[in-house]
Amino acid sequence: MSRTEPAHRDIPVNLVTGFLGVGKTTTIRAVLAQRPQDERWAVLVNEFGEIGVDGGLLADTGVRTEEIPGGCLCCVSAQMFTVGLNRLIRQQQPDRILIEPTGLGHPAEIIRTLTAPPYDTALDLRATVTVMDARHLASPRHREHPNWNDQIAVADVLIANKADAWSEADREALHAFVAGLPAPRPRVIETREGHIDAALLDAARLEHGGALFPEARAYLSANADDGHDHGHDHDHGHEHEHDHAPASDTGDWVVIDNRGDGFVGRSWRFPTSTVFDHAALEALIREQDADRLKGVLQTERGWQQINRVERDGGLEALATPPDTTPPRLELIRAESGDRGGREELEALNAVDRALRRAARLPADD
């Protein structure tokens, strides 16, 4: 068997996509809770930051998770994607694979890879599930983003999540938006906290036609002269050009910055011995207005998860994860547009200093 040929055939695969903070990981958790006891499922997770967090948020599900950090799933020719997917197939021999791309990724490209050799004869691509929040329909930043449009365009099932937070105007906007989608339209489910029936994973795939994904294609073409980097500040040979924050006096802290598609992010990975002050961490989280803040951390009250979108969300108690799960945190915010990114860098450094204080470490000046 060649290195590129997966070891098992006809494995059902689902893409669970959606923009930042819409509840993709929450939806996957809800689906995993319904998996048949006699089936082995696996999850392939891609994240915008260089230090994965979502794998930690799924650690207590009992499902094998393979993490691909750094946004590399948006360039599915990248070796990390095929290596990670092949490893899941070979080692786990799963009965189903769920793939969660970064909220800033291009799912159309992933679908093209999964339906081309060698995967077209090894995997059975089932329904693509796109998770969205109807409140984003009023946001030009979302409506005009090519990735947001790409994610909607590929949907076989459209999960309108966080319905409990909508206004009546949000709901009416959703209905008008769905009515305006070209045929064949996806099946639309309004829900909260990602609760959906796992049977939706086997919903019929729609024939979208050859004119699919014009926004993503235009976006990719516009960036073709940049070495096919999709607008991210890294090259796909993985000689990364991310900015690494100063590491003096941080012990084993790993801090990596990322930038792409109009967003900047910083990822932290902490030694397993790191215990944060609970009250100080809560105060830090309350102050954040970032588009996305997520993490798995330990305080004197035990392990906590953070799943915050803009100003919504805080610390939640979490079952003790496996020993292989280090504390980690990821923050993503929209670019401010300031020249040179100094304002963004200072905001990220301020969070870094607050984290160090919460961990009772000396602050870097």
Q: Convert the pLDDT of each residue in 172-201 to its tens digit.
A: 898 888 888 888 888 888 888 898 889 889
**pLDDT range class, residue 222, cuts 50, 70, 90:** low
C-alpha radius of gyration, the chain, whole number = 20
Q: What per-residue confidence (pLDDT) applies to 269?
A: 81
Phi/psi-derived region of residue 21, left when phi > 0, alpha when psi is between -120 and 50, beta in every other case = left
Could you tell me whether strands 64-68 and 41-46 are parallel, antiparallel, or unpaired per DSSP bridges?
parallel
Model confidence at 94: pLDDT above 70: yes
- Specify the CATH architecture of the domain 11-222: 3-Layer(aba) Sandwich (3.40)
Model confidence at 240: pLDDT above 50: no
- Alpha-carbon span 200 to 246, nearest angstrom: 46
Got the DSSP string for 261-280? TTEEEEEEE--TT--B-HHH
Model confidence at 71: pLDDT above 80: no
Q: What per-residue confidence (pLDDT) applies to 260?
A: 66
Model confidence at 236: pLDDT above 90: no
- The residue that leads in pLDDT, 133 or 264, is 133
pTM over 0.75? The answer is no
8 A C-beta contact, residue 104 and residue 234? no
8 A C-beta contact, residue 12 and residue 96? yes
* Secondary structure E strands in 167-241: 187-190
- The residue that leads in pLDDT, 268 or 213, is 268
8 A C-beta contact, residue 184 and residue 206? yes
Q: What per-residue confidence (pLDDT) applies to 301?
A: 94
Q: Structural domain boundaries of the chain? A: 11-222, 254-358
Model confidence at 23: pLDDT above 60: yes
8 A C-beta contact, residue 123 and residue 10? yes
- The residue that leads in pLDDT, 27 or 325, is 27
Neighbours of 288 (CB within 10 A): 20
Averaged pLDDT, 27-35: 89
- Alpha-carbon span 107 to 99, nearest angstrom: 10
8 A C-beta contact, residue 100 and residue 45? yes
Candidates 311, 317, 345, 258; CA nearest to 52 is: 258
Could you tell me whether strands 41-46 and 129-133 are parallel, antiparallel, or unpaired per DSSP bridges?
unpaired
3-state per-residue secondary structure call for 43-107: EEEECCCCCCCHHHHCHHHCCEEEEECCCHHHCCCCHHHHHHHHHHHHHHCCCEEEEECCCCCCH
Number of DSSP helices (H) and strands (E) in the chain, helices first: 10, 14
Spatial CB neighbours of 3, under 8 Å, sequence gap ≥ 6: 86
Q: Which CATH superfamily is domain 254-358 in?
A: CobW-like, C-terminal domain (3.30.1220.10)
Q: What per-residue confidence (pLDDT) applies to 192?
A: 87
**pLDDT range class, residue 78, cuts 50, 70, 90:** low
Q: What per-residue confidence (pLDDT) applies to 184?
A: 87
Query: Which range is most confident: 3-12, 81-90, 165-174, 201-210?
Result: 165-174
Model confidence at 351: pLDDT above 80: yes
Q: What per-residue confidence (pLDDT) applies to 209?
A: 54
Q: Which helix (H) or strand (E) holds 18?
A: strand 11-18
Model confidence at 45: pLDDT above 60: yes
Q: What per-residue confidence (pLDDT) applies to 223?
A: 46
Q: Determine the angle formed by the axes of helices 146-153 and 107-114, rounding to 10 degrees.
A: 40
Query: Which range is most confident: 64-78, 81-95, 102-116?
Result: 81-95
User: Which tokens belong to 140?
Assistant: 């030009």
